[in-house]
Amino acid sequence: MTIGVLGSGSMGAGIAQVAATAGHDVILFDKNPDALKRASDGLLKILNRLVEKGRIDDPTAKAIFGRIYFVDNTSAYKDCGLIIEAIIEDINVKKAVFEQLEDVVPEECILATNTSSLAVAAIASACDDPSRVIGIHFFNPAPLMKLVEIIPAIQTSNEVTEKCRKLIEKWGKLTVIAKDTPGFIVNRVARPFYGEACRIMEEGFADAATIDWAMKEIGGFRMGPFTLMDYIGNDINYKVTQTVFEAFYYDQRYKPSFVQKQVVDAGYLGRKSGRGFYDYSEGAVNPEPNKDMELGNHIVWRILVMLINEAADALYLRIATRDDIDTAMEKGVNYPKGLLKWADEKGIQHCVDTMDRLFDEYKESRYRCSPLLRKMAKEGRTFYQTQKETA
């Protein structure tokens, strides 16, 4: 099967590399010739680096690169069996692109979007045959991240869903199926990792360095939330939060933070701009964390229980299965363990009591306890008690 990738930014180029490595001819399109040149140079550099590290040999690198065709005309898509769109997160732009693609590609060609938060059903509605439209959400960098979320819209045929899942797994990826709801699994469940950390900072409870230290050294996360936001790009992370907040009809659980808005407004976008929550300029000295263990444990548990509550609600609302939710958070954002497993270890009743205490203190709906957690605590059940009951 010839694979089409639309958009030659870092995500599009990464997807093209994955598909070409799996043996496919790949048509990488971008209307901007300069962007195509950057993608070509970047891919060549990455492949040469893999050769230097001994990950692949030189003939393999040349073969992978030789299977990628850089084009600036979508007519090159006429023989593709699957096209994955990876362009700007703008629903109107994506709908226009998908409408145009239908005039070019064969009838059996599957049209996929790599959107991280937009409604796949809305994108599919632009097509005469929406049954062949699906979400295939890779994580950045696509060649390194194992997880891929497969998101069928209500219009997507079962055949297309299964075909895509099997294909992506052949590419060496780990797939999870997510309902077409805002943020899918990862970007929905992970919101409190950033949002509650910002809230703790806003309250003056702890600064960024202390929160990051606690989440990394005590919680076992690979990066603290502020380091991760700087790494992702505060503009990108803030935009995803805004999108999810609006898509959930302004549910307070997903409310964006003024702390993050301020750094975005100031142009402090993170590593890429040289400054974010931290200063990345040469010789910069950043604040040292307060390594008080009692404070650190309090920070970790407050953020963790919010994450657990969100994961439980995703299961309650049938966004995904128990196993897919835990797999997504472990493999998509490198959490130390699945949140539902973590809930079992901490104790379901303890989770409920903490959420109720936060709600009593703040009287805000962001701290409402998931009905599933409350029901499980009442019945004395755990998530991994039996496969039949909870999966």
**What pTM does this model have?**
0.92
End residue of a domain, out of 127, 154, 177: 177
Which token pair is 189? 């469940």
List the single range of 8-22, 142-156, 231-245 with lowest mean pLDDT. Answer: 231-245
pLDDT value of position 386:
56
Average pLDDT, the chain: 95
Q: What is the pLDDT of residue 140?
A: 87
Per the annotation, the verdict on 157 as an active-site residue is: no
Active site residue 114: no
Q: In the numeric block, which tokens belong to residue 79? A: 């023989």
Give the residue numbers spanning the domain of 6.
2-177
Describe the strand order of the beta sheet including 133-138 as a list of residue ranges.
68-71, 26-29, 2-6, 80-85, 110-113, 133-138, 147-152, 174-177
| Annotated active-site residue in 8, 114, 116, 117 | 116
Q: Which of 148, 177, 206 is the last residue of a domain?
A: 177
> Which positions ≥6 away from 209 have C-beta within 8 Å?
226, 286, 287, 288, 289, 290
Tokens linked to 10? 């870092």
- Asked whether residue 95 falls in the same domain as residue 13, the answer is yes
- Say yes or no: 270 and 123 in one domain: no
**Is there a catalytic annotation at residue 149?**
yes
Summarised one tens digit per residue, pLDDT across range 279-318 is 999 999 999 999 999 999 999 999 999 999 999 999 999 9
Asked if residue 389 has pLDDT above 50, the reply is no
Q: What is the pLDDT of residue 121?
A: 98
Same domain, 225 and 112: no
* Nearest CA-CA partner of 233 in 299, 163, 318, 140: 140
Whether the Cβ atoms of residue 155 and residue 133 lie closer than 8 Å to each other: yes
Final residue of a domain: which of 157, 177, 197?
A: 177
- Position 106 scores a pLDDT of 93
- Could you tell me if 216 and 73 lie in one domain? no
Block residue for tokens 């997903």: 254
Residues 85 and 217 in one domain: no
pLDDT at 234: 96
**Position 371 pLDDT exceeds 90:** yes
Q: Evaluate if residue 387 carries a pLDDT over 50.
A: no
Please state, as a whole number, how many other Cβ atoms lie within 10 Å of the Cβ of residue 357.
Answer: 12
Residues 292 and 267 in one domain: yes
199 with 91, same domain: the answer is: no
Q: Indicate which residue of 8, 187, 257, 370 is catalytic.
A: 187
| DSSP per-residue letters across 264-308 | HHTT--BGGGTBSSSB-STT--PPPP---HHHHHHHHHHHHHHHH
Does residue 190 share a domain with residue 172? no
Amino acid residing at 306: M
How far apart (Å, rounded) are the C-alpha atoms in residues 289 and 163?
Answer: 49
Question: Are 26 and 20 spatial neighbours (Cβ–Cβ below 8 Å)?
Answer: yes
C-beta separation of 53 from 84 below 8 A: no
187-227 per-position pLDDT tens digit: 999 999 999 999 999 999 999 999 999 999 999 999 999 99
Average pLDDT over residues 239-262: 93
- Whether 390 has a pLDDT exceeding 60, the answer reads no
> Which one from 85, 114, 149, 370 is the annotated catalytic residue?
149
Beta pairing class for 147-152 and 133-138: antiparallel
Q: Indicate which CATH number applies to the domain containing 112.
A: 3.40.50.720
pLDDT tens sequence across 93-152: 999 999 999 999 999 999 999 998 899 999 999 999 999 999 999 998 999 999 999 999
Token representation of residue 138: 């890779």
Are 126 and 153 in contact by the 8 Å Cβ rule? The answer is no
Share of the chain above pLDDT 90, in %: 94
Query: What are the residue ranges of helices labelled H in the chain?
Result: 10-21, 33-52, 58-66, 91-101, 120-124, 158-170, 186-189, 191-202, 208-213, 225-232, 234-247, 258-265, 293-316, 322-332, 339-346, 348-362, 371-379, 387-390
The mean pLDDT value for 32-47 works out to 96
Please give the backbone phi and psi of residue 217, each rounded to the nearest 5 degrees, phi first.
-80, -35
260 and 349 in a single domain? The answer is yes
* Helix orientation angle between 293-316 and 191-202, rounded to the nearest 10 degrees: 140
Please state the rounded mean pLDDT for residues 351-369.
97
Please determine, for residue 367, whether its predicted confidence score (pLDDT) is greater than 70: yes
140 annotated active-site: no
Are 62 and 150 members of one domain?
yes
Question: Domain tally for the chain?
Answer: 2
Q: Which of 24, 85, 114, 137 is catalytic?
A: 137
Query: Which residues are CB-neighbours of 180 under 8 A, at least 6 positions away?
Result: 119, 120, 121, 135, 151, 152, 153, 154
Do residues 168 and 202 share a domain?
Answer: no
CATH number at residue 386: 1.10.1040.50
Residues 144 and 219 grouped into a single domain: no
pLDDT given for residue 235 in this prediction: 94
